[in-house]
Amino acid sequence: PEMRHKEFPKLARKRIMKRTTHDSTVKQFEVRPHACTAARFFYVLCSPRPPALLPLPPFQSTLVEISDVLEVKVIEASRDVQKGIAGVDQAIQDIFAELNQDLWLVRREHQYVLDQWENIKIECENRGKEIEKYGERLEGIEGERATMVARELRTLVETLSATAFKSRTDIERLVEGEAFELNTVLIVNRQSHAELLALMEKAQIIVAMEARMNWEVRQAAWRQLRHDRCVREFHEDLTAK
């Protein structure tokens, strides 16, 4: 080829010009990122993207905080009803402790025995009121849970809609899943509370029945004690005469 270039200088210059023209033409079509395009691409990579799941971690943490706060309230309500029922049971035991003293009972009139039953009846009613109040507090706590969670769900929908990263249908599907799970929790909690209250009310009926039976036993004991005392005093009078 070198000899050919020497022999044909015009042909060699023509080949050089063709190569130069071809290279310049190819360079015009090379991919060169525009300044604005590169800047936008860099912004997308470096700036925080608003995915649809971005508000969910704060939402989940808020639900945990709500659950912790309400759990404390449930524990407080349980302790209060436990103290209330224990106080009522102690009052009933004190009444029977007095009725079980034969020497004390035999000197009392029948109206005293009837009055003691009224006191026992009042204490049993107070015991039932403690259970009812406990049930109302549990229902109020679950109502508060539903209100707070509904507010957080609305906030979640507004946040996801504001990001506009997902379609409205995807947002609704996501929120429906969260709402279904939370509704399941509410239903399970209410079912557990209903079962617990049913057991407590059953125990309340047993306590009231046992109180009535024990009182009737002491009433019969009072009659027997009064009868024995009358017979003994009669014999003492006969012996004295």
Burial class, 149, CB count within 10 angstroms (exposed 0-12 / middle 13-18 / buried 19+): buried
Is pLDDT above 90 for 135?
yes
pLDDT for position 122 = 96
Is pLDDT above 80 for 32?
no
Is pLDDT above 50 for 53?
no
Task: Read off the pTM.
Answer: 0.69
Distance, CA of 52 to CA of 179 (rounded, Å): 16
Confidence grade of residue 17 (pLDDT, cut at 50, 70, 90): low
Token digits of residue 84: 């209330």
> Which whole number is the average pLDDT over 233-238?
81
Is the Cβ–Cβ distance between 143 and 191 less than 8 Å?
A: no
Average pLDDT, the chain: 80
Confidence grade of residue 40 (pLDDT, cut at 50, 70, 90): very low
Encode pLDDT of 57-116 as tens digits: 687 888 889 889 999 999 999 999 999 999 999 999 999 999 999 999 999 999 999 999
Q: Long-range contacts for 168-174 (Cβ within 8 Å, ≥24 apart)?
A: 170/52, 171/52, 174/52
**Distances in Å between the alpha carbon of 32 and those of 20, 36, 37, 67?**
21, 12, 10, 56
**Distances in Å between the alpha carbon of 22 and those of 8, 14, 27, 29, 183?**
22, 12, 9, 11, 71
Confidence grade of residue 195 (pLDDT, cut at 50, 70, 90): very high
Q: How many CA atoms lie within 13 A of 207 on its CB side?
A: 24
Sequence-ordered alpha helix ranges (H) in the chain: 2-7, 9-28, 35-46, 56-99, 102-106, 110-163, 168-240
Distance, CA of 176 to CA of 1 (rounded, Å): 78
Is the Cβ–Cβ distance between 124 and 96 less than 8 Å?
A: no
Give the residue, 14 or 121, on which the prediction is more confident.
121
Distance, CA of 135 to CA of 123 (rounded, Å): 19
**Distances in Å between the alpha carbon of 90 and those of 84, 97, 120, 125?**
10, 10, 11, 14
